[in-house]
C-alpha cells in the first residue's frame, strides 16, 4: 500500500512538472531558438509603409495583405489585441469600425414620415426627403437619402502601414542571425485625417498559420490571395510569410528595446533634439545593427 502511494505521488509530481509553462523557448516564436542558444537578442519595432514602392509586392489586384488581414479578423480567423503587449483581445467590430454612429429609431413601415425625419434600416441611417412618406422603404432614393452620420468600417485602402515587432537573435550554435517576428500591428488612416494610428496587433504565429493554410488550399484562388508578387519575375512569387522570412520588405526602425521603453523619436525629443535628427538616427540604428552582426560573425 505504501509503495502504491509513493508511485501515485511520483506520477503526480511528474505531471505537474510537464504542465508548467515552457521557459526554454519563447512560446510566440516561429524560429523556436532556445534561450540558452541565444548569444545576442534585441527587440526591434519597424514600420512598413504599404504605399512605398519597395513594399508594392504585398499589394496587387489578386493579393492584398491589407484586405487579407481585414477579412480574417472579420471572420474570426485572426484575433486582434489592444497593443504590442498583446494581452486584451478585441471583438472584430472594435477593430474594423472606423466611425461608430448612433443608430436612429428603426424604420416603421406603418408610420408616415415627414421631411428630415430619420430612421435606421439595414445597418444605415436615412432621412426622409418628402412629407407623407409612408410605406416607402429607405432604399427608395426618391423618398429617402442617407444621413451624414453613418457607421463606417475600415477599407483595405485605409490600412496604410504595418508595424513589425521582431526579435533580432544571434544563434550561437548555428552562428547565424535570425529575425524572429513576434507581432504585426495594423496601422490605419481615417478618411480626411493625416494621422496614422494602430488599430490592433495580431500574433505573427497566428498570421503564419492562416497564410500557410491558404497557400496549401486546393482552391487556386485562395492560394493567389496570399501571394507576394515579384513584379519583375512572376516565377519568383512568394507567400506573404516567405516574403517576411526572406526580408523582401522595407521597414523603418521606430524603436529598439531599451530600459525606458521609448521610441527613437521620443528619446530625441526629451533631449531637445529636432525631428530631423531622429529621422537620421533611425538610419544610423540600422547601420549599427549591421555592424553588430558583422562583429558577432567575427566572434
Confidence of residue 22 (pLDDT cuts 50, 70, 90): low
Q: State yes or no: pLDDT of 8 exceeds 80.
A: no
Report pLDDT for 21.
Answer: 54
Comparing CA positions, the residue from 71, 118, 119, 114 lying closest to residue 95 is: 71
Which band of pLDDT confidence, cut at 50, 70 and 90, is reported for residue 137? very high
Average pLDDT over residues 122-146: 91
As a whole number of angstroms, the distance between CA 122 and CA 134 comes to: 18
Determine the average pLDDT of the residues in 196-202: 92
Nearest to residue 130, comparing CAs of 140, 120, 122, 121?
Answer: 140
pLDDT in tens, 210-265: 999 999 999 999 999 999 999 999 999 999 999 999 999 999 999 999 999 999 88
**Quick one: which H or E segment has residue 195?**
none
Q: Is 77 left (phi over 0), alpha (psi -120 to 50) or beta?
A: alpha
Query: Length of the chain in residues, anyone?
Result: 299
| pTM for the full predicted model | 0.80
Percent above pLDDT 70 for the chain: 92
pLDDT for the residue 151: 78
Average pLDDT of the residues in 39-45:
93
pLDDT beyond 90 at 194: no
Mean pLDDT over all residues of the chain?
88
pLDDT > 90 fraction of the chain, expressed in percent and rounded: 60
Burial class from Cβ neighbours inside 10 Å (0-12, 13-18, 19+) for residue 132 reads exposed
Handedness of CA 262, 31, 213, 205 (dihedral sign): negative
Q: Give the number of other CB atoms < 10 A from CB of residue 68.
A: 21
- Count CB atoms within 10 A of the CB of residue 158: 19
Quickly state the pLDDT bin for 286 (edges 50, 70, 90): confident
- pLDDT class of 10 with cuts at 50, 70, 90: very low
Using CA atoms, how far residue 250 sits from 55, 123, 194, 276, in Å, is: 6, 39, 22, 20
- CA distances to 73, 76, 154, 179, 246 from 207, rounded to whole Å, are 10, 12, 19, 16, 16
The pLDDT of 258-273, averaged and rounded, is 88
Sorted by where each starts, the structural domains of the chain and their CATH numbers stand as 35-96+156-257 (no CATH), 101-150 (2.10.10.20)
Residue 6 has pLDDT above 50, yes or no: no
- Is residue 97 predicted with pLDDT exceeding 70? yes
Confidence of residue 123 (pLDDT cuts 50, 70, 90): confident
Residue burial 233-258, b: 16+ Cβ < 10 Å; e: rest = eeeebbbbbbbbbeebbebbbbbbee
Quote the CA–CA distance of 186 and 79 in Å, as a whole number: 12
**Is the separation of the CB atoms in 204 and 30 below 8 Å?**
yes
Tell me the C-alpha distance between 186 and 208, whole Å.
Answer: 15
What average pLDDT does the segment 286-291 reach? 87
1, pLDDT greater than 80: no
Three-state DSSP class for residue 21: coil
The helix (run of H) or strand (run of E) holding residue 161 is: strand 159-171
pLDDT score of 191 more than 80 = no
Amino acid at each position: 500500500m505504501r509503495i502504491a502511494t509513493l508511485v501515485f505521488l511520483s506520477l503526480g509530481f511528474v505531471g505537474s512538472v510537464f504542465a508548467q509553462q515552457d521557459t526554454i523557448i519563447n512560446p510566440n516564436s516561429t524560429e523556436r531558438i532556445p534561450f540558452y542558444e541565444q548569444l545576442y537578442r534585441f527587440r526591434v519595432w519597424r514600420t512598413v509603409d504599404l504605399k512605398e514602392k519597395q513594399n508594392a509586392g504585398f499589394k496587387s489586384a489578386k493579393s492584398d495583405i491589407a484586405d487579407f488581414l481585414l477579412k480574417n479578423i472579420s471572420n474570426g480567423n485572426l484575433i486582434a489585441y489592444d497593443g504590442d503587449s498583446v494581452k486584451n483581445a478585441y471583438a472584430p467590430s472594435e477593430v474594423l469600425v472606423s466611425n461608430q454612429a448612433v443608430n436612429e429609431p428603426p424604420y416603421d413601415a406603418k408610420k408616415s414620415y415627414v421631411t428630415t425625419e430619420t430612421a435606421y434600416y439595414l445597418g444605415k441611417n436615412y432621412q426622409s426627403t418628402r412629407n407623407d412618406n409612408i410605406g416607402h422603404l429607405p432604399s427608395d432614393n426618391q423618398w429617402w437619402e442617407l444621413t451624414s452620420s453613418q457607421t463606417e468600417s475600415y477599407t483595405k485602402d485605409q490600412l496604410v502601414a504595418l508595424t513589425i515587432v521582431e526579435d533580432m537573435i544571434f544563434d550561437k550554435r548555428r552562428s547565424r542571425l535570425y529575425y524572429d517576428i513576434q507581432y504585426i500591428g495594423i496601422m490605419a488612416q481615417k478618411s480626411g485625417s493625416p494621422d496614422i494610428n494602430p488599430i490592433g496587433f495580431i500574433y505573427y504565429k497566428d498570421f503564419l498559420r492562416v497564410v500557410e493554410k491558404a497557400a496549401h488550399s486546393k482552391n487556386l484562388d485562395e492560394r493567389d490571395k496570399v501571394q507576394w508578387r515579384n513584379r519583375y519575375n512572376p516565377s519568383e512569387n512568394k507567400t506573404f510569410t516567405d516574403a517576411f522570412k526572406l526580408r523582401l520588405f522595407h521597414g523603418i526602425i521606430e524603436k529598439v528595446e531599451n530600459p525606458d521603453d521609448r521610441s527613437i523619436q521620443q528619446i530625441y525629443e526629451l533631449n531637445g533634439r529636432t525631428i530631423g535628427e531622429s529621422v537620421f538616427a533611425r538610419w544610423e540604428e540600422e547601420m549599427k545593427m549591421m555592424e553588430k552582426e558583422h562583429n558577432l560573425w567575427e566572434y
